[in-house]
Amino acid sequence: MSKLERDSRAGAVLEVLGIAVFVHASGALRISGQPPDWLRLIWPTVTEPDATLPGSSAFLENFLIDARECWTAGGEKRARSGPWVEQTADGNELSLEATALTIGGQAILLLERLGEVFEAKKSMLQKARETVIAYQRLNSEMQKKEILLHCISEEMNAALANVITSLRLIELEKDPTRIGQLLRLASRATEEQQTLINKVLNVFAAELEGLRGRDGTAMAQTQLGDAVRAAEENVAPQFADKGVRLRLAGSGLDEMRVAMDSTHLTRVLSTLLENALQSAPAGDEVRLNFAEESGAILIRISDNGPSFPPDICANLFSRAATAASGPQASHLPLQFCRIAVENCDGEIGYESRHEGGNTFWVMLPTPAAPK
Amino acid sequence: MIQKKICMIGASGVGKTSLISKFVHSMFSDKYLTTVGVKIDKKTVAVDGAEVMLMIWDLEGDDDYQRLQTSYLRGSSGYLLVADGTRQITLDQAIEIQGRVTAAIGPVPFLLALNKADLVSQWEIDQSRVDDLTARGWKSFKTSAKEGAGVEEAFVELSRQMIQPP
């Protein structure tokens, strides 16, 4: 194969991949070969081979400083811009990345439209950063709780010390008036303790209401379609990685509403989908069925993987599972699912099928007709 | 018209993109969508009778997954250092990032935006810490990308500092 043929084939491959190749010469960047279609969405004048890239991108202008350094150094040195967003003439956005390199003494700039791999990376980063933020908030909340707990302990301890001291003094005291005073002191201290305990219980009750998805006046309402799509988005990279398809079955998804906080519902669905994915064979499918049944919404998530052994099934949603190690450890968040679902008067369960496979089901009340 | 490049800098999830969205497009969304890479927006502001075209570089949050790329700061006339008032740790991160930025581009004007000021009950940053920073010459604004409070003011004040003769 001649060099010309090789170059032509390499150019064709880059064209198929949607990568634009520019050659830097005499201070201008000229496109080599046919410009990919997406390029003219941003730079409408770059339509023909050999067209010049206009200097209209502030990001690219900045990157070209690094690119020139790279071209001057020559050799195998490369400079990558990192991803950036350009706006198209019709107001849409495209994610791009540029690479500067030298080939055969020629200064080359590759412009690539970022596709599925970038979107998958973005999705992973989204999830990772959400987790970090949630962890930071949890950590901060725990610190506040620790301080609060310390204060409560101190106050209860002080009241208890009054009771104990009073009782000891009563034991030694002969004077009925003085005994009466000490009894009143002890009684007041126990009442203080009782008030404090009630305050603590009220705080816990308010937090439980928060978990119930109530804003204090009305039940939360979530459009099932939004939660399903958010959960689908959360798990998409893991599904893609294992080559497992997610199949939705049912009708009227966008009309269905459930009486549950949207964040909790998305987390429950994501957890159940992740569990199903763990069991599902590579290249297989996970099914998410939804239907309205007598004033409630039934969601079923099924896979064709091996059924769980009976001893694991018995503890799938229990606190015991959180302490488990080994295969059970993968089902740790299921306890959260149970609490979240039951706290909005729903039900959650698991069924294994004789022919193999697992189904997790969730029954949630609709806002109009809570169960 | 004067043209100035400014960068939005801070940890992930502090609201850099939301501040731009509010300032440039008067829009706000509660949903957190992480920025990956860079996005540039433009807006003209009037500062003391002068028109300043701001080229606002929204940079990906600095964290364990992606460190701030200092090459993006090249040519910046100033930057908005953003922290999330409901997460104390993001102020520590902002202070650390500011050191790196100064090392990379030298002392250029910047403002500290303590964002999410609408979440009063979750506010974590002690005023004493802000006072310490003020004593070091830092200027800070409490901002709310959700309600718009302090947003325009922060960008205008940064623009004012950038166009002032040294």
What pLDDT digit, counting tens, does each position of B17-49 carry?
999 999 999 999 988 999 999 999 999 999 999
The answer to whether residues A262 and A149 belong to one domain is no
Whether residue A89 lies inside any domain: the answer is yes
Concatenated DSSP letters for A194-221?
HHHHHHHHHHHHHHHHHHTTB-SSSB--
From the list B34, B69, B74, which residue is nearest A125 (CB)? Answer: B34
The answer to whether residues A269 and A358 belong to one domain is yes
Q: Strands A358-365 and B110-115, how do they pair?
A: unpaired
The answer to whether residues A62 and A176 belong to one domain is no
Q: What is the pLDDT of residue B15?
A: 97
Provide the token pair at A62. Answer: 């900045």
Residues 6 or more apart whose CB falls under 8 angstroms from that of A47 comprise A35, A40
Q: How many residues does chain A have?
A: 371
The answer to whether residues A106 and A58 belong to one domain is yes
Residues 6 or more apart whose CB falls under 8 angstroms from that of A119 comprise none
Provide the token pair at A332. Answer: 């740790």
Whether residue A217 lies inside any domain: the answer is no
The answer to whether residues A232 and A344 belong to one domain is yes
Interface of A with B in 26-65 (CB under 8 A): 58-59, 62-63, 65
Q: If we measure between CA atoms, which residue out of A213, A289, A317, A207 comes closest to residue A258?
A: A213
Whether residue A99 contacts residue A114, with contact meaning beta carbons closer than 8 Å, is answered with no
* Sheet of strand A358-365: strand arrangement: A245-249, A285-293, A296-303, A358-365, A347-352
pLDDT in tens, B124-152: 998 999 999 999 999 999 999 999 999 99
Provide the token pair at A130. Answer: 């959400």
Whether residue A239 lies inside any domain: the answer is yes
Check whether B52 has a pLDDT greater than 90.
yes
Whether residue A241 lies inside any domain: the answer is yes
- Chain-chain contact of B74 with A85 (C-beta, under 8 angstroms): no
Whether residue A298 contacts residue A367, with contact meaning beta carbons closer than 8 Å, is answered with no
How far is residue A162's CA from residue B123's CA, in Å, rounded to a whole number?
A: 37
Report percent pLDDT > 90 for chain B.
95
Residues in A closer than 8 angstroms to B75, CB to CB, are 62
Last residue of a domain, one of A114, A139, A170: A114
The answer to whether residues A144 and A56 belong to one domain is no
The tens place of each residue's pLDDT in chain A, 371 residues long, gives 566 566 666 667 777 788 999 999 888 999 998 899 999 899 999 988 889 998 879 999 999 999 999 999 988 889 999 999 999 988 899 999 999 999 988 999 999 999 889 999 999 999 999 999 999 988 888 888 787 787 778 778 777 887 888 888 888 888 999 898 888 888 888 888 888 888 777 777 666 666 555 443 345 788 999 999 988 887 887 788 788 999 999 888 888 999 888 878 888 898 899 889 988 999 999 999 999 988 899 999 999 998 887 777 777 776 544 333 344 444 446 777 887 788 788 899 998 877 789 999 999 998 864 44
Q: If we measure between CA atoms, which residue out of B83, B88, B138, B91 comes closest to residue B113?
A: B83
Residues 6 or more apart whose CB falls under 8 angstroms from that of A190 comprise A159, A163
- Chain-chain contact of A58 with B61 (C-beta, under 8 angstroms): no
Residues in A closer than 8 angstroms to B89, CB to CB, are 136
The answer to whether residues A228 and A268 belong to one domain is yes
Whether residue A103 contacts residue A76, with contact meaning beta carbons closer than 8 Å, is answered with no
Residues in A closer than 8 angstroms to B13, CB to CB, are 129-130, 132-133
The answer to whether residues A142 and A102 belong to one domain is no
The nearest alpha carbon in chain A to B57 belongs to A59
**Cα–chain center distance at A117:** 18
- Chain-chain contact of A84 with B13 (C-beta, under 8 angstroms): no
Q: If we measure between CA atoms, which residue out of A85, A262, A129, A263 comes closest to residue B14?
A: A129
**Residue A77, number of CB atoms within 10 A of its CB:** 13
β-bridge mates for residue B47, sequence order = B50
Counting beta carbons within 10 angstroms of the beta carbon of residue A290, is it exposed (0 to 12), middle (13 to 18) or buried (19 or more)? buried
The CATH number of residue A180's host domain is 1.10.287
The answer to whether residues A229 and A253 belong to one domain is yes
Q: What is the mean pLDDT of chain B?
A: 96
Interface of A with B in 144-173 (CB under 8 A): none
From the list B36, B38, B63, which residue is nearest A59 (CB)? Answer: B38
Dihedral sign from CA coordinates of A336, A341, A342, A347? negative
Q: What is the pLDDT of residue B75?
A: 96
How far is residue A265's CA from residue A287's CA, in Å, rounded to a whole number?
A: 17
The CATH number of residue A17's host domain is 3.30.450.20
Helix (H, G, I), strand (E, B) or coil at B107: coil
Q: What is the pLDDT of residue A333?
A: 62
- Chain-chain contact of A62 with B69 (C-beta, under 8 angstroms): no
How far is residue B51's CA from residue B163's CA, in Å, rounded to a whole number?
A: 10
Counting beta carbons within 10 angstroms of the beta carbon of residue A39, is it exposed (0 to 12), middle (13 to 18) or buried (19 or more)? buried
Q: What φ, ψ does residue A314 adopt, rounded to 5°?
A: -65, -30
With tokens 């998805």, the residue in question is A213
**Cα–chain center distance at A121:** 13
Residues in B closer than 8 angstroms to A69, CB to CB, are none
Q: What is the pLDDT of residue A339?
A: 77
Last residue of a domain, one of A80, A114, A148: A114
Whether residue B36 contacts residue B61, with contact meaning beta carbons closer than 8 Å, is answered with no
Whether residue A252 lies inside any domain: the answer is yes
Q: What is the pLDDT of residue A8?
A: 66
| Distance from the B60 Cα atom to the nearest Cα atom in chain A, whole angstroms | 10
The 8-class DSSP code of residue A255 comes to G
Q: Integer distance in angstroms from the first to the last C-alpha of chain B? A: 19
The nearest alpha carbon in chain B to A121 belongs to B36
Total domains in the fold of chain A: 3
How far is residue A265's CA from residue A231's CA, in Å, rounded to a whole number?
A: 9
The answer to whether residues A274 and A229 belong to one domain is yes
- A215 versus B58: the higher-pLDDT residue is B58
- Chain-chain contact of A62 with B74 (C-beta, under 8 angstroms): yes
Q: What is the pLDDT of residue A235?
A: 81
The answer to whether residues A41 and A147 belong to one domain is no
Domains of chain B in start order, with CATH, are 2-163 (3.40.50.300)
Whether residue A370 lies inside any domain: the answer is no
Residues in A closer than 8 angstroms to B69, CB to CB, are 82
Q: How many residues does chain B have?
A: 166
Quote the domain boundaries for residue A156: 119-211
Counting beta carbons within 10 angstroms of the beta carbon of residue A92, is it exposed (0 to 12), middle (13 to 18) or buried (19 or more)? exposed
How far is residue B71's CA from residue A98's CA, in Å, rounded to a whole number?
A: 14
The answer to whether residues A341 and A248 belong to one domain is yes
How far is residue A255's CA from residue B139's CA, in Å, rounded to a whole number?
A: 50
How far is residue B67's CA from residue B118's CA, in Å, rounded to a whole number?
A: 29
Whether residue A305 lies inside any domain: the answer is yes
| Distance from the B37 Cα atom to the nearest Cα atom in chain A, whole angstroms | 5
Q: If we measure between CA atoms, which residue out of A56, A61, A59, A52 comes closest to residue A20?
A: A52
Q: Strands A93-103 and A84-87, how do they pair?
A: antiparallel
- Chain-chain contact of B37 with A95 (C-beta, under 8 angstroms): yes
Residue A237 at interface with chain B, using a CB cutoff of 8 Å: no
Residues in B closer than 8 angstroms to A121, CB to CB, are 36
With tokens 């300043």, the residue in question is B52
Residues in B closer than 8 angstroms to A83, CB to CB, are 36-38
- Chain-chain contact of A83 with B36 (C-beta, under 8 angstroms): yes
Which ranges in chain B belong to alpha helices (H)? Answer: 16-25, 88-105, 127-135, 151-163
The CATH number of residue A360's host domain is 3.30.565.10
Last residue of a domain, one of A114, A142, A165: A114
Whether residue A255 lies inside any domain: the answer is yes
